[in-house]
Amino acid sequence: MRHRVVIVGGGFGGLAAAKALRRAPVDVTLVDRQAHHLFQPLLYHVATGILSQGNVSPPLRDVLRHQANASVVLAEVGGIDLERRTVECALLDWSWEIEYDTLIVAAGARQSYFGRDEFALHAPAMKTIDDALEVRGRIFGAFEVAELEDDPAKLAAWLTFVVVGAGPTGVEMAGQIAELSRHSLPSNFRRIDTRTARILLLDGGPRILPTFGEGPARKAARKLESMGVEIRTGTLVTNVDATGVEVLTADGGERIEAMTKIWSAGVQASPLGASLAAQAGVETTRAGQVPVEPDCTLPGHPEVFVVGDLMSLNGLPGLAEVAMQSGRHAGQEIRRRLEGKTEPRPLRYVDLGSLAAVSRYYAVGERKRTQVSGFVGWVFWLVVHLTFLTGFKNRTSALFHWIISFFGRSRPERTITAQQVFAREALASSPPAASRPGP
């Protein structure tokens, strides 16, 4: 029997691991609750009408179609038994176990509401295709309702957009909503002036883009403010409801009336991390990450690799590049073991830098001591994202959509449905009978 490798999660880490085992004498089973790989850094382009969901989510089976030793299983992972070396899977009314010789856990992370999960009902996150489509429905739907509103106070609320969290996703989202309202939509409406839309970017920290240096963060802030975005740092969100948010600053509390709220503050690792840590006898971090050995293996379990957002190693950030490099490292280590090289090698992470697109033709970035901004930064951003998009078809399609959006004023993906706008409310009023944590 050939060596059995099970990979939990089809994100950046899991897919990189599977590809690293392309020519290895192993049988690879990739398990994910979704049938697609998600290029999460571009979800906000789906939410603001630039890209379609297909541009950022190629089917996993299609991505791995030429890899004969890899198969894809659509299932939720309910648990992992380290002693028996099994992965518990479930889909609809079926449940089964998959045995492994080596396990790679790349289950990723989800949005964190810091213990206030009820906020998700009114302030969706940006972690899944469903999230992006719902946010798109809420953004474009807000302008549609505003066109019909006669009450000045309600009109102002419909034209107020609050983005919570000023990391790269929040900054990029706020910038795109500003672009949308100032450049793409004004000629589409007759009763309202979309350029009067109010966009607020809130964060509890002292500045935006906290993972960037002060120089790029300062330039990004100036650009956002020139576009009309109100930046409020040192601002804690204490409540979110259907019609607004309540915040707390050094000057006291305040309520902001806003019908559209988007949450991009904080992440929490997959619940599978807590289960793995408990079985291995280690403590997870506050964000639920699992401490791993230098070679990305679970302490006491060299047959289990934990990669990407789920691992805690040397303070590495939760970036796509970290996930890809750690996933690739896990695959390479398995190949070395099969070749008889048992001495573990530590992960040597190569920092490729950070980029954030503030608006069309303007991005900020840095790598070590090198900083870029403006049009040059935007070109770097464009090249990097085209390079890392999975598949030639997706790259070509995304480039076509970008040409339409960036060099013109149109947003080609503006279709919204009632299901997108109201799906979360419907789910909250009639939750599924049972749910299980998964990758």
Q: Kindly list the catalytic residues.
A: 172
- 216 burial (CB, 10 Å; 0-12 / 13-18 / 19+) is buried
- 318 burial (CB, 10 Å; 0-12 / 13-18 / 19+) is middle
Task: Give the residue among 269, 248, 268 at the shortest CA–CA distance from 204.
Answer: 248
Taking the C-alpha atoms of residue 46 and residue 245, their distance in angstroms, rounded to an integer, is 24
Taking the C-alpha atoms of residue 257 and residue 364, their distance in angstroms, rounded to an integer, is 31
Question: Cα–Cα distances in Å, from 356 out to 45, 82, 374?
Answer: 13, 39, 11
Task: Give the residue among 1, 2, 6, 69 at the shortest CA–CA distance from 330.
Answer: 6
Provide CB contacts within 8 A for 276, sequence distance 6+. Answer: 80, 82, 105, 290, 298, 304, 306
- 314 burial (CB, 10 Å; 0-12 / 13-18 / 19+) is exposed
Taking the C-alpha atoms of residue 116 and residue 48, their distance in angstroms, rounded to an integer, is 26
Task: Give the residue among 57, 94, 43 at the shortest CA–CA distance from 73.
Answer: 94
Paired residues of 230 in beta bridges: 200
Paired residues of 373 in beta bridges: 364
Cβ contact 55:42 at 8 Å:
yes
Provide CB contacts within 8 A for 202, sequence distance 6+. Answer: 162, 163, 164, 165, 166, 232, 235, 237, 245, 247
Cβ contact 167:211 at 8 Å:
yes
Q: Quick one: tokens of 404? A: 């339409």
Taking the C-alpha atoms of residue 6 and residue 29, their distance in angstroms, rounded to an integer, is 5
Taking the C-alpha atoms of residue 25 and residue 332, their distance in angstroms, rounded to an integer, is 12
Question: Cα–Cα distances in Å, from 421 out to 325, 391, 418, 429, 431?
Answer: 37, 30, 5, 15, 17
Q: Which helix (H) or strand (E) holds 333?
A: helix 320-338
Tokens 């549609």 — which residue? 144
